[in-house]
Amino acid sequence: MSTTMTPQPAETELTPELIERVMKLSQENREKLIGLLGGEPPIPDLPPVGDWEYWKAEIKRRIDDVESGRVKTYSLEETLEHMQKAMDERRES
């Protein structure tokens, strides 16, 4: 008789199943876990899908951040220049 075992991921791996289980925790238990891990959450809260009020508020918040100067924006030219420098540095190393 042959038995086949499904390989299990190492306990140290951050698997999709583990992420799903963590995201299902209550906010209180998630905060306890964050405290145990010693810092910032390794997994950001997922934005609600299809919640238009949430997204309208998020878009407004982002526009306000840009208009107030709290967030720095970059022109296309600046972005392309940065990308070119990064590619050049990668080729050199």
Overall domain count for the chain = 2
Q: 82 with 64, same domain?
A: yes
Q: 42 with 82, same domain?
A: no
Nearest CA-CA partner of 61 in 51, 50, 71: 71
Determine the 3-state secondary structure of 80 from DSSP.
helix
Average pLDDT per 10 consecutive residues for the chain, totaling 93 residues = 54 75 84 76 66 87 92 92 92 87
This model's pTM is above 0.75: no
Count of other CB atoms within 10 angstroms of residue 30: 16
Q: 18 with 35, same domain?
A: yes
The residue range of the domain holding 23 is 14-46
